[in-house]
Amino acid sequence: MKQSRPEVFKFGGVAVGNADAIRVALAHVSRAAPGVAVVVSAMNGITDLLLEAGQAALRRDRARCDDAAAQVESRHRELVAELVASPDRANALNAVITESVRELRSMTESIAVLGELTPRAQDALVARGERLVAAIFAIAAIEIGIDAVYVDATEVIQTERRLGTLWPNLLKCERAAKKSVVPLLAARQVVVMPGFIASGPDGSVVTLGRGGSDFSAAILARSLGARALTLFKEVDGLMTADPKSVPAARVIADLHYREAAELAYYGANVLHPRTMIPLVDRRIPLYVRNSFRETSPGTRIAGDVKPGSYPVKALTAIHRQALLSIEGNGMIGVPGVAGRAFTALSQAGHSVSMISQASSESSICFVVPESEADHAVAALEAAFEPERKLHLIDRIDAEKHVALIAVVGLGMRGTSGIAARTFSAIAAAGVNIVAIAQGSSELNITIAVAESDATRALLALHSEYQLHKIRPLADTTGREAKLTLLGLGQIGRELARQVIAQQPHLRRDLGIDLKVVAVADRSGIRIDDKGFTPAALQRFAKRKESGARLFERGSPLTLRELETMMRDELWMLPSYRPVLVDLTSEEKIGRASCRERV
Ligand code: ASP
Ligand code: MG
């Protein structure tokens, strides 16, 4: 049976970090194939190593470059040795590795000679991490009987420059995927593509930024109109807080795209912050799962997630921040101070996270990473030199050792009292609040506290919002219940209504995927192996209520005819493990069919 909408799997650096990890990854792929496209990261540590090789080359530290090249070579050769038994394939792959490492060495040598490392050279340098893994992954898949094929990311992910940064041109990506990926999937091949890299505006290879493979996978999922994207990582999903600070932290079962985006932005560090962007308008659900724990259902991120009973779902903390403040009565009512401050900071290369200004306007403060604080203060001092001389601005200051805590949840919007609860919980824990900001999206309250208070504040908030009670997503793998409703009279319709109403609860809490795959009456049988949608069931119910039958036929079928029809059509369904619900007044249908079924 041809799957019309493929799935996209992405394996992170640890999930492809050694031969055993890749075997586990291949098992996931083999269960889903065909109809799956795979995106891989570089092996963990390889991107760092390649970047370091570039830096070492700049310093003319040739020993370090050699060492990096040797490590890249040996880690990949080891994969081949363990995963590829056929000598021809192993030789071919080893030749690819040798060539890639030779190129790496000659690139670092040119960098050392020229004393220059351009962004373009750096991208070309790191691109080999993902490419090597994808090449090996595809061949290792073939070795175990999966019909896999390598497709280079530069053929699919097309970028352009927008406001100084590289951005995928989603329209072009979609067109490219239709051309180079869709036909392969249609031929039942598993496509393996390197993440992180893309084709730049001038056709050269570029990268999507650190951790960018998640983003690559999301772009591919969108371009293919995938039915879901799963990111296989070494963690169980997105968590209510960092378990290192909050031992009671739990995996969050479901999150809205926007909640996940907030968490990713605030350094939950599991997800690239841009991952959700290509998925949102196509409503492609995103799963984050632990590659190494088959039974862990992970986190589901989608657009249909309702606020539910947890107005606050997660806490995150960004450490080692500094709070910059500009103070002075001369700022009151003077337009342009904030504008000039931000301009000065952005010209000096600083990106500001939290911003807060009291309405008295006598001070404005914003947060930058602690390591940038001194440089940022110097930039502000230079920009406000005249005002400082005239004492319109008294102080430009950096308070270091600050942590930002973000309280995130869709349900905060429209639930009053969340800010009050948040602040009282923090106060009750004896923690002083340094600054506060809430975006008007009401998805997030951000609080700056002293670094040494951060853990206490997190613990207090976690228990205030009872986050240790968040229930995980139940595991539904292999737990489908397919119902056939015989008869759709009053009782049958009521049952259909209840099935519809209970579906989310059963799926979430009990891990049972209950669906109605067939309904029958005396006019015939309607079948949908994927399960009828609630709308379809409602349509049938309406029809029956109005006195019509499922099919417009002249005269009702005889019992014998109906039985034959059921036998012929129902048994054709793949993997049909029937649960037959006989709601007819006619005893014989149910019995006769059950007998044949067992
Ligand atoms: N290999 C790249 C990095 O380490 C991209 C990724 O893993 O997502 O940043
Ligand atoms: Mg990674």
Question: For residue 568, how far is its CA from the centre of ligand 1 (angstroms)?
Answer: 52
The answer, yes or no, to whether residue 466 has pLDDT greater than 80, is yes
Token pair for 550 = 């499922």
Q: Which ligand is nearest to the CA of 48?
A: 1
pLDDT at 441: 66
Section 470-481 average pLDDT: 66
Section 141-166 average pLDDT: 93
Question: For residue 46, how far is its CA from the centre of ligand 2 (angstroms)?
Answer: 10
Section 499-518 average pLDDT: 76
pLDDT at 50: 97
The answer, yes or no, to whether residue 475 has pLDDT greater than 70, is no
Tokens 């030789």 sit on residue: 91
Mutate to test the pocket of ligand 1, among 41, 220, 270 (most ligand atoms within 8 A of CB): 41
Residue 254 three-state SS: strand
pLDDT at 247: 92
Tens digits of per-residue pLDDT, 217-249? 999 999 999 999 999 999 989 999 998 999 999
> What is the atom index within ligand 1 of the atom nearest the CA of 48?
4
> What is the atom index within ligand 1 of the atom nearest the CA of 215?
8
Beta strand extents in 475-543 (DSSP E only): 480-486, 513-521, 524-527
Q: Which residue's CA is the closest to the ligand 1 atom numbered 1? A: 42
> What is the atom index within ligand 1 of the atom nearest the CA of 214?
8
Rounded to an integer, what distance in angstroms lies between the CA atom of residue 571 and that of residue 580?
13
Which residues fall within 8 angstroms of residue 69, CB to CB, at 6 or more apart?
53, 101, 104, 105, 108
Q: Which residue's CA is the closest to the ligand 1 atom numbered 2? A: 211
Rounded to an integer, what distance in angstroms lies between the CA atom of residue 230 and that of residue 38?
10
Tens digits of per-residue pLDDT, 55-100? 999 999 999 999 999 999 999 999 999 999 999 999 999 999 999 9
Nearest to 520 by CA among 481, 577, 482, 570: 570
Q: Which residue's CA is the closest to the ligand 1 atom numbered 6? A: 211
Question: For residue 552, how far is its CA from the centre of ligand 1 (angstroms)?
Answer: 58
Tens digits of per-residue pLDDT, 534-546? 888 888 888 888 8
Rounded to an integer, what distance in angstroms lies between the CA atom of residue 263 and that of residue 259?
6
The answer, yes or no, to whether residue 273 has pLDDT greater than 60, is yes
Question: For residue 206, how far is its CA from the centre of ligand 1 (angstroms)?
Answer: 13
Q: What is the mean pLDDT of the chain?
A: 87
The answer, yes or no, to whether residue 464 has pLDDT greater than 90, is yes
The CA-atom distances, in angstroms, between 564 and each of 58, 103, 201, 359, 567 are: 78, 68, 62, 78, 5
pLDDT at 597: 35
Question: For residue 542, how far is its CA from the centre of ligand 1 (angstroms)?
Answer: 53
Token pair for 95 = 């030749």
Question: For residue 12, how far is its CA from the centre of ligand 1 (angstroms)?
Answer: 8
Q: Which ligand is nearest to the CA of 215?
A: 1
The answer, yes or no, to whether residue 265 has pLDDT greater than 90, is no
Q: Rounded to two decimals, what is the model's pTM?
A: 0.76
Rounded to an integer, what distance in angstroms lies between the CA atom of residue 390 and that of residue 73?
62
- Which phi and psi (to 5°) does residue 501 adopt? -65, -35
Tens digits of per-residue pLDDT, 1-41? 444 799 999 999 999 999 999 999 999 999 998 999 999 99
pLDDT at 510: 67
First to last CA, the chain: 25
Token pair for 185 = 């999937």
Mutate to test the pocket of ligand 1, among 126, 128, 197, 213 (most ligand atoms within 8 A of CB): 213
Question: For residue 232, how far is its CA from the centre of ligand 1 (angstroms)?
Answer: 14
Tens digits of per-residue pLDDT, 547-576? 888 888 777 888 788 878 777 777 666 555
Higher pLDDT, 156 or 269: 156
Question: For residue 212, how far is its CA from the centre of ligand 2 (angstroms)?
Answer: 8
Q: Which ligand is nearest to the CA of 39?
A: 1
8 A C-beta contact, residue 523 and residue 550? yes
Mutate to test the pocket of ligand 1, among 10, 14, 47 (most ligand atoms within 8 A of CB): 47
Sort strands 444-450 and 395-408 into parallel, antiparallel or unpaired: antiparallel
Q: Is the peptide bond before 34 cis (omega within 30 degrees of 0)?
A: yes
Tens digits of per-residue pLDDT, 381-430? 999 998 888 888 888 999 999 999 999 998 887 777 888 899 999 999 99
Token pair for 473 = 């997503």
Sort strands 480-486 and 513-521 into parallel, antiparallel or unpaired: parallel
Section 130-148 average pLDDT: 97
Nearest to 58 by CA among 115, 5, 98, 104: 115
Q: Which ligand is nearest to the CA of 234?
A: 2
Section 117-121 average pLDDT: 92
Nearest to 460 by CA among 145, 206, 241, 181: 241
Beta strand extents in 381-512 (DSSP E only): 395-408, 433-438, 444-450, 480-486
Task: Write the burial class of residue 220 (CB in 10 Å: 0-12 exposed, 13-18 middle, 19+ buried).
Answer: buried
Q: Of all residues in the chain, what percent carry a pLDDT higher than 70?
A: 91
Q: Name every protein residue with a CB atom under 6 angstroms from any ligand 1 atom.
A: 13, 41-42, 47, 129, 195-196, 210-213
Higher pLDDT, 421 or 163: 421
The answer, yes or no, to whether residue 442 has pLDDT greater than 80, is no
Token pair for 509 = 């809490």
In degrees, to the nearest 5, what angle opens at C-alpha 412 toward C-alphas 472 and 245? 55
> What is the atom index within ligand 1 of the atom nearest the CA of 13?
7
- Helices (DSSP H) in 429-489: which residue ranges? 454-464
Tens digits of per-residue pLDDT, 575-598? 556 677 777 765 455 443 433 332
Q: Which residue's CA is the closest to the ligand 1 atom numbered 8? A: 211
Confidence band (pLDDT; 50, 70, 90) for 264? confident
Higher pLDDT, 136 or 311: 136
Question: For residue 264, how far is its CA from the centre of ligand 2 (angstroms)?
Answer: 14
Lowest-confidence region among 121-130, 485-494, 524-533, 571-580:
571-580
Question: For residue 592, how far is its CA from the centre of ligand 2 (angstroms)?
Answer: 57
Tens digits of per-residue pLDDT, 314-345? 999 999 999 999 988 777 777 777 888 888 99
Token pair for 384 = 């406000």
Tokens 């054709």 sit on residue: 572
Mutate to test the pocket of ligand 1, among 75, 128, 193, 196 (most ligand atoms within 8 A of CB): 196
pLDDT at 2: 43
